[in-house]
Structure 1
Amino acid sequence: MDHPTIGILHPGSMGAAVAACAATNAAAVLWCADGRSAASTTRAERFGLEPVPTLQELLDRCDVVISLCPPAAAEDLAREAAGYRYRGTYVEANAINSERAVRIAGLLEPAATVVDGGVVGSPPVNGKTPTLYLSGPISGTERVEALFEGTAVRTKVLGGDIGQASALKLSYAAFQKTSRVLVALATGLAREHGVDQELLAIASHRSDSYLAEPEYVAKTAQRAWRWGPELKEVADMLEAAGLPPQMLRAAASTLARWHEAKDDGELTLTDALNRLAQP
C-alpha cells in the first residue's frame, strides 16, 4: 500500500482530527506552524502532527494536502499553494460553494490534481464517524479513499465533477445549520411569552427530520398562500421581542414564489421545485 506524506491546512478541531485519521495510512502528517496560534500548536501536538516551519516546505514534502480552514481563507490558501507550484493531490475540503471549488481547481491545475471534498458530521473523535464526500478526477479520489481506509473517516465518491462534493455539503448545511437558528428563534419567542416549556412538549412528539420528507415540499407549496402571511406575523412578533426577524421574512418571501400553486392537489415535487427556481 502507498504510504504518502500528508499535509493539513490548517489543524482546527475538524482538520486536526481528520489529519490524525489519515496518519493511519500515511508515512507522516505535517502542518505548517508559521503564523499559527498557540491553540493550533497545542491541538497539533495532541493529535501527533509533525510541524514544519514554512508552507513551502510542507508543499515540497507532501504527496497529498488537505485544506480544512475557515471558508473565507480557502481561495487565498489555494492561491498561495499554486504560487509554490504544488504538484501533488490537493483536497479542497472546505465548506465553500461549487463555483469557488471550481475556481480553486483552476488555480492549481494542471500541476496539481484537485479533489473536491465536503465533510458531513462531527470531528472523528470519541466514536464519531463523519463522512468525507469526494468528487473529481478518479486518480485523486481513489488516493484519498485509500488514505482513510479503515479509519473513523468514511469516504464516498459522488462523481467526477469538481463542485459536486461542495454542493452536497452546502445543501445539507443549508438545512442543518439554518434549522438550529430557527430553533433559537422559536424558543426565544416562546420564552418571551412564557410558553417555552409547552413548545418543547409539542416538539417532543416528533423526532424525525423534515429533510427526510422531500415529498412534503409539494404540500408546502400548496399551502404557501396561507403559510407566507403566517410567517410574516411571526416576523413581526420576533421584532417586537427584540429578536431578529429577517430569517422569517425571507421564508415568507420564498413561499410567495408558490402563490399560484394555491391548493393544487395535483402538484408534484418536481413541479414545486421548478416553480421555486423559476418564479
Structure 2
Amino acid sequence: MGSRLAAELVAAGNEVFWVPEGRSPASSERAAAAGLTGTSFADAVGRAELVLCSCAPQGAVAIARQVGATGFTGLYVDANPLSPSSLAEAAEALAAATFVDAGVIGPPPIAGSRTDLLLAGPSVEVVADLFTGTAVSPRVVGTTVGAASAAKSAFALYNKGKRALAVLAFGLADHHGVTDALVAQSTRKQAGDLGDPSLPEDLRKVAWRWGPEFDEIAETLTAAGLDAAPIQALREVWTRLS
C-alpha cells in the first residue's frame, strides 16, 4: 500500500523519498517501480515537507516517535487504522508537526480500482490536493483528529470481520466434510466470501497485521462505549492463522 500511494504522488509530479536501509529486496523493487528517491532517514525527514505513514498498525506509534525525535515541523499524515489512544500517542510524539489523521479504504491504487483516502484534522485540503487527479480519491470526513481512523475502523470491522467469520465457517465445514455444501451457498446475497475454499490459506499472509488492527478496533469500540467482546473474539482467528 505504501509504495502504491507513493507512486501516485510521484505520478502527480512530487519527489518522494524512501529509506532503503534495512529493507528487503522486494521493498527495493517496489520503490524503484514507484519512482522513489532512496536516501537516509535523517535526510528524508529533513528535506520533506510532508511525511506519509502507511504501515502495519503495530508499528505506527514507533514511526511517529522516530519522526518526532528529529524535530520535524511539516505535515505528518498518519494513514493507519489506529484507536484514539494510539492516535493520541502518535500526535503527542509529533508536537512540532501538523498532524493529519487518515485512513485508506480499498486495495492499493491501480487503474480501475477504487481507493479512498479518508482525511480529518488540520490542513486536510493540502493533502487532498496532492492526490487530486490520481487513482486515490481523497475524502474529508471531519475536522477532528480521529474521525478518519474511526471511519476506517468501522468499515474494517465489517469488511474484515465477515472474512474472519468465513474462516471459521470453512473450518467448521471442513471438520464435517461439507465444504462443497457451504461453497454452494456462495451465490446467495452477501455470501460471496464463501465461494473460495482457499480463503483461509490466502489470509495467512495478512493475518500478522490484521490481528493488531483488530486490537485497535476493539479499543476504538471501547472508547465509544460499545461492546468490544465480539471483535476481541474474532481477533483469535488472525492469531491462529499467523
TM-score (norm 2): 0.76
2:21 pairs, out of 34, 42, 57, with 34
- Give the structure 1 partner of residue 211 of structure 2: none
Three-state SS of the structure 2 residue aligned to 1:155 is strand
| Larger Rg belongs to | 1
- Give the structure 1 partner of residue 221 of structure 2: none
For 1:134 and 1:201, how far apart are their aligned partners in 2?
Answer: 40
Question: 1:95 Cα deviation (Å)?
Answer: 2.0
Check conservation: 1:99, 1:163, Cα contact below 8 A. Answer: no
Check conservation: 2:10, 2:34, Cα contact below 8 A. Answer: no
Relative CO higher for 1 or 2, CA cutoff 8 Å, sep ≥ 6? 2
Question: 1:175 Cα deviation (Å)?
Answer: 1.7
- Give the structure 1 partner of residue 130 of structure 2: 147
Question: 1:27 Cα deviation (Å)?
Answer: 3.1
Check conservation: 1:135, 1:157, Cα contact below 8 A. Answer: yes
Q: Give the AA of the match of 1:121.
A: G
Check conservation: 1:120, 1:131, Cα contact below 8 A. Answer: yes
Change (3 A) 1:112 1:45: same
Matched, 1:98 2:84: yes
Change (3 A) 1:168 1:195: same
For 1:26 and 1:99, how far apart are their aligned partners in 2?
Answer: 35
Question: 1:146 Cα deviation (Å)?
Answer: 0.5
For 1:198 and 1:121, how far apart are their aligned partners in 2?
Answer: 30
Identity of aligned residues (%): 37
Q: Give the AA of the match of 1:63.
A: E
Matched, 1:85 2:68: no
Unaligned runs of 5+ in 2: 193-228, 235-242
- Give the structure 1 partner of residue 218 of structure 2: none
Change (3 A) 1:115 1:190: same
- Bigger drift between 152-161 and 185-194 goes to 185-194
Matched, 1:132 2:125: no
Question: 1:18 Cα deviation (Å)?
Answer: 0.6
Three-state SS of the structure 1 residue aligned to 2:16 is strand
- Give the structure 2 partner of residue 70 of structure 1: 56
Three-state SS of the structure 2 residue aligned to 1:206 is coil
For 1:96 and 1:248, how far apart are their aligned partners in 2?
Answer: 15
2:169 pairs, out of 154, 169, 186, with 186
Three-state SS of the structure 2 residue aligned to 1:28 is coil
Number of equivalences: 198
Check conservation: 1:31, 1:49, Cα contact below 8 A. Answer: yes
Check conservation: 1:98, 1:164, Cα contact below 8 A. Answer: no
* Superposition pairs of residues 7-18 of structure 1, within 5 angstroms: 14-18=1-5
For 1:65 and 1:30, how far apart are their aligned partners in 2?
Answer: 9
Question: 1:122 Cα deviation (Å)?
Answer: 0.3
For 1:28 and 1:249, how far apart are their aligned partners in 2?
Answer: 41
For 2:57 and 2:138, how far apart are their aligned partners in 1?
Answer: 21
Three-state SS of the structure 2 residue aligned to 1:90 is strand
Question: 1:90 Cα deviation (Å)?
Answer: 0.4
Q: Deviations over 1:27-76 (max 9, x none)?
A: 31111112222221111011111101x21111111111100112111111
TM-score (norm 1): 0.66
Q: Give the AA of the match of 1:58.
A: A
Compute the RMSD of aligned alpha carbons: 2.2
Question: 1:208 Cα deviation (Å)?
Answer: 7.4
2:144 pairs, out of 152, 156, 161, with 161
Question: 1:127 Cα deviation (Å)?
Answer: 2.3
Question: 1:24 Cα deviation (Å)?
Answer: 3.0
Question: 1:156 Cα deviation (Å)?
Answer: 0.5
Unaligned runs of 5+ in 1: 1-13, 210-245, 252-279
- Give the structure 2 partner of residue 225 of structure 1: none
Question: 1:249 Cα deviation (Å)?
Answer: 10
